[in-house]
Each structure stands twice: as C-alpha cells, then as structure tokens.
Chains A and B, each alone.
Chain A
Amino acid sequence: MDQHKIENFLKANPGLAFPACQHLNESQAAAIRNAIAKSVDSPELDGLSIVKRLYEISVEAGGLQVGDAAFSIGKLINDLGVKFPENVYLNWYRFDDIDQITLADLDQYFSELWYPGSDDLDIFDDSADWVVSITHYGRVMLFKRPVRQTIGSVMG
C-alpha cells in the first residue's frame, strides 16, 4: 500500500489504525499473475498483456460509478453470484504490486484506499474466477470466467 495513503488515513482518522494489509512478495505476485492469465485466457504472461486482456474482456457493471450512492464493493461481489470471500487481493499495477486485505475492510474504507486519477484497481480472490476493476475515473468493470455452452449441448 502506498505510504502516502497510510499517512493520509492516519491524519484523517486519528486514533484509528490503518486496515491490516499484506503486500505480496515477488513470487506470490507471480503465482497470482499466472492464475489470472489463465483465467482471462491471456496468450502472454507479462503483466501488461494481462491487464490489457482483462480490460478487453471485462464488461461494465450496469453503468455503476464509484461515486454513486448504490456503489458498494461488497454488494458488487455478492451480485456476481460467487462464493463470498473473506480476503481479497488488490492489484495496483500489472499484477506485480498486489495487497491482500479483508473484504470487510475494503468495503468500509474503500474511499481511503482507491484514489481517483492515479489508481486503476483490480479486486479478486484466490479463485481468480472473477475480477472487479475500478478505473482511475471511477468506472466499474466486471469479469467473470465464462462457462461456455456449445451448440452441440443445445442440440442435445
């Protein structure tokens, strides 16, 4: 987590500790990167290719913006119909700058963690089956690994 965000949080919330947040080391980040690359079917394994691929295949969350009254990370993930995770990962760059945090803390302190203009953020869990992306201008994008149904199965 960026040091200035921690400092800003402590300044704005005297007496309150910054949410517990673990930064992943290089090998942990590499494992995550490979899992996401596989999930989004990225032909390349470098971080830049993966974030581009993720952006390409993600869809808008019904026009939802971060500033909207209805915006809630917890609700978004719940609406995805996935197993509700206790912890989530936050990718701040190209899957080489990743933090782990509880979903409860992320939900509660989102505005203290994501800064508009500078931050494009991806949120996902261990399954790598879904990703909620927040662009630097507040657009919410969703990716969920598709379950492909073939013509053959329809025709029976």
Chain B
Amino acid sequence: MSAVIALATPRRIKASHRRRRRVASDHLLYILNNPLSGTDPTGYASCSTDASAGDCAAAAGSGGTAKVTSQQAGSHIKTTVGSVTNNGNGTATVTANSGKSQGISLNGANLGSRVTNTFNQTKDKISEIGSAVKSRAKDAFNSVAPQSARLSAMSDEQRNDQDSSPLWGAAGFYNTGAGAFNDVLQVWASTVTQGRISDNRPYPVFDVPENQVRSAAMGEGILNLATMPIAEVRGAQGVRGAAIAKPSLSAHKRALLAVQAEVGRLPKGAPGRFGSPQAGTSKKGYRLDPPHDGVAKGDAEAKYHFNWWDYSGGKRGNGGRSGAIPIED
C-alpha cells in the first residue's frame, strides 16, 4: 500500500532512479500503469521482500493479509513467496510458500531461511545427540549382555533372586525421552511450520529450551532403540546399572558381616518387592539392593548396598533401628 502511495506522489527523481522506476512500474501493467484507477484484482495488499514484516503487516491492515513478492534483479517476473497476516493484536503471521522461503525478510533478517536453518540445525543436533545415546546404549548392552543372557535362561524364581535392576532401568528412560520428544515435536508443529512471529517472540524456534532439545534427542535415541532386536533393547536397559561396577564377592561378604552385626544372621525370606534377595521379615531383616536413582552421590543408597532394619522394639526413633551399608571394594 505504501509503495502505491509513493508512486502516486510527484517528486523529483534522479536519473538513476528513473531506470529503476521504469522496471518497478511494470508490475502495475494490469492497471495500465495507473494505480489510482482501480484496485489490485487479487484483493490482497502486497509488499516486496525488501520490506520488513512490520511494514507488510501495516500494509495489510488490521486483520488483513499482504502478499510478499520477490523480483529477481533485471527480471520483470514477480513471484509470490509468501504472505504476512496482520493478526490485529500487535502480532503478525509470516507464512512462507513451500520451497520459496528464502526471500522473506523480517526487519532486515531473512526469517524464512533463518527458521529453516534453525530447524535443520535443531534436527541435526537431535540426531547427533540421539546417535550418541544410541551408541552408549549399545556399549552398555555389550557390557551387560552376558548377564542378560544368564538371566534369560533362568526360571522366574531364580531370576527373582538375582539383581536384575540394571535391566529395567532404561524403560523409564525410554518413556521419559519419548514424552519429551513428543513435546518438542508439538512445539515445532505449532510454531516452526508456520513461522509464526509476534512482537515478544520473533523467533519462536529459539525459545525451545536447550534441555528440551536434549530430552528430545534422548527420546529419539531411545526411540531408535525400539527398532533394535529385542535382545539389544533388553541389553541397552543396562545403561544405568552399567555405570556402576558391581563390587567383588569379598566386598559383599564384608558388608554382610556388618549387617549381621546389627541384626544377627537371619534366614532367607521372600524376595524384595523388585526381586532383590532378602533375609528375615518386615519386622527384622536385611536386603541386598542395587544403586538407586535420586540419591546423593555419597549416600549408601547410591551404591550397591544392604538395607537392614529391626523394628522389634518399636518404630524408628522409638526403639526401632534401620540403616544402609554400602558394598565397596
């Protein structure tokens, strides 16, 4: 709209500008080079790729849409590369036509290519981190494969007596990653694909937090695992456990003696709820446990350990006692 007004306003024109103006006026051929005699037959306001999105939005007017056109130097042919819609609330939506996004400018920056590049960079980043996760999972599989095979060959009862916790840690990893991955896809779906902008969030794709991208990468890495043979996936579940080396038998014996010094030697009881070997009862007993998540690094619960308890004299702090003894070489 502003371009039309500029052409209709008489002013002194330099010779160098006259040549440019002759070319520029060709796009008004549909109206016989007389812009004041009628209206644009498409019904759209228009602006060029040299304009800012703000100018385009202003040209479109509140609630209106302006075509964004591009013209190669020396060419008379104009190509519509997208549109800018003035949302009427201080924001605008820039929509790039498929495959023609390179020409749309936003305040001097190339929005189309910037969004496209960022999208690709993000995808590359996710792919890169996802590959790393996948690689680590494979390494973990290789390290726990013998244990996995041994457990597979056992009956359920035998298996319950084994420390199988490293083999079920990564299923949660999978779910967490997959959920985060889905979340990021939703962010992309609702912002990047439309190149939506506003005064407050000019480049929404940059607002995707790093941790979400990282989580998404984890998700992709683990989603890739889903296509692995089942044996590999089971092996990969050892990611968490594989990070902490299992202590030696002599370390187990030392820790067990310390436990028995607290509660005495007790007969074998029912397995713990997750299958860990347990002695005694819920009143007085002990249990061999693997390292747990969410525990401070130095805590016994963060290592292979024995939990012990004796509540025959009352609850804890009132005659009852409990504790955890790390198993360390």
Contacts and interface: CB of A to CB of B under 8 A. Distances in A.
Interface of A: 2, 4-5, 8-9, 11-12, 48, 51-53, 55-60, 63, 92-94, 111-112, 115-120, 135-137, 139, 146, 149, 151, 154-155
Interface of B: 160, 168-169, 171-172, 175-176, 179, 182, 185-186, 189-190, 193, 272-275, 282-283, 285, 292, 294-295, 301, 307-309, 311-312, 314-316, 318-320, 322-324
A12 B316 CA distance: 11
A12 B315 CA distance: 9
Contacts, number: 96
A154 B190 contact: yes
Q: Which 3 A-B pairs have the closest CB atoms?
A: A117-B322, A56-B172, A117-B309
Given A55-B172, A94-B273, A151-B189, A118 B294 contact: no
A115 B320 contact: yes
A34 B179 CA distance: 24
A117 B190 contact: no
B292 A2 contact: no
Given A8-B320, A154-B186, A48 B311 contact: no
B322 A139 contact: no
B314 A115 contact: no
Contacts of B322: 115-118
A120 B168 CA distance: 17
Contacts of B182: 151
A57 to B, nearest CB: 5
A63 B160 CA distance: 29
A118 B175 contact: no
A13 to B, nearest CB: 10
Contact of B273 (A51, A111, A112): A51
B274 A48 contact: yes
A48 B273 CA distance: 7
A26 B295 CA distance: 35
A8 B309 CA distance: 14
B323 to A, nearest CB: 7
A4 B311 contact: yes
A53 B237 CA distance: 13
Given A52-B274, A135-B292, A137-B292, A116 B316 contact: yes
Nearest to B313: A8
B186 A149 contact: yes
Nearest to B159: A48
Contact of A115 (B169, B185, B282): B282
B165 to A, nearest CB: 9
